[in-house]
A and B are shown apart, each in its own frame.
Chain A
Amino acid sequence: QSALTQPASVSGSPGQSITISCTGSSSDVGGYNSVSWYQQHPGKAPKLIIYDVSNRPSGVSNRFSGSKSGNTASLTISGLQAEDDGDYYCSSYMSYTSDILEFGGGTKLTVL
């Protein structure tokens, strides 16, 4: 059982927007702004798409955005495209002083 809770699956049609939630606790997600989101396609390593809750690495589409409220972080993908189909994981360190990483169980996004 993962420390961070994500929905198992979400789906949307091209052009639509979807949001994936990631619920943790007051010490990890809620404790400080170090939530990351990863996109993974089959057979590939995870790719960072959001870091520190709401920041996009260079080269990541601005269709991806992140936010946080309390102990729940969210990833929103707007203007869905076929290439967004894949698995998405949130991650956070256990606490501000911890070196232990936690991952969500992953969410399978299906673009209809």
Chain B
Amino acid sequence: QVQLVESGGGVVQPGRSLRLSCAASGFDFISYGMHWVRQAPGKGLEWVSFISYDGSKKYYGDSVKGRFSISRDNSKNTVYLQMNSLGAEDTAVYYCSRDSRIAPPGEDYWGQGTLVTVSS
């Protein structure tokens, strides 16, 4: 079955960096684009970034542009989110999700999320 497992979250000081990973299994990873979506405590969902199936296209939300970088290793079925210059506003649960547009209709998968807390 399809699984997405995020890791790498934790407590980090303002201004520092952190790299999140999302390990995928149960589907043809190399065929799918991937998203990162975050949710600050008590707040709504915010789209963060997208990477195409082959890594050739990358997009970022305005609030993270220039600080975050998305990448993928198709040999390891893993997508990454490198987060630099972290601030308190980046404190959130970070989810990875599979692009559902080429999947069978109605198939939509998210990981369980990993919590990033930016605090001194």
Contacts and interface: CB of A to CB of B under 8 A. Distances in A.
Interface of A: 2, 34, 36, 38, 40, 45-46, 48, 51-52, 55-58, 87, 89, 91, 93, 99-106
Contacts of A56: 106
Most buried by A among B33, B35, B45, B47: B45
Contacts of B44: 2, 87, 89, 103-106
What 8 A-B pairs come out closest when comparing CB atoms? Answer: A57-B106, A106-B44, A48-B108, A101-B47, A45-B110, A103-B45, A99-B50, A105-B44
Most buried by B among A2, A99, A105, A106: A99
Interface of B: 33, 35, 37, 44-47, 50, 52, 57, 59, 95, 99-101, 105-108, 110-113
A65 B95 CA distance: 26
Contacts, number: 57
Contact of A51 (B45, B105, B110): B105
Given A57-B107, A100-B47, A45 B95 contact: yes
